[in-house]
Amino acid sequence: MYTTNDILFPHEAIAALKRVRGAAFTALVERVLAQPETHEDTIAFMLMMVRLNGCMACETDSYRAMRGCAACAQQTLKRFKGEDEELLELFERALSDVRKWASANPNSGIIGSTV
C-alpha cells in the first residue's frame, strides 16, 4: 500500500522527470543525470525540487507521500505555471546556494564543475 519514501527529494526520482516539461527542462535533467550524486548540479537540482515540491512540509502519512516522490514531483512540474526558463532560473538560484555552502564547507565532498 505504501511506497518507499525519502525525507527529501531523492536522486532516484530525477529520471522520472525527464519528459515532464519542454526541451530546456529535459536538457537540464539529462545534464544532471550525467553527473554523480555528489556533483553540485545534482545537489542543486535536488534542492530546487525540495523547494518546488514543498518537501520540508511533507508528512509520511500524507496522500502525496503515499504516492511517492517521483509522482509528487511530476505533478508539481505539470502544475507549474511558468515556462521552463523560470525553472532554469530556480535551478541557477539553487546552484548558487549550493556553491556558497560548498565554499564555506570545503570538506563537504561536493564535486564542483570544471567549467
Q: Give the CA count within 13 Å in the CB-facing half-sphere of 20.
A: 22
Indicate whether 19 pLDDT > 90: yes
pLDDT at 115: 47
Is the separation of the CB atoms in 97 and 51 below 8 Å?
no
pLDDT in tens, 96-115: 999 999 999 998 899 986 54
Distance of CA 16 to the CA centre of its chain: 11
pLDDT in tens, 34-65: 999 999 999 999 999 999 988 777 777 666 66
Residue 52 backbone phi and psi in degrees, to 5:
-65, -45
pLDDT at 114: 56
pLDDT in tens, 57-94: 777 766 666 677 888 899 999 999 999 999 999 999 99
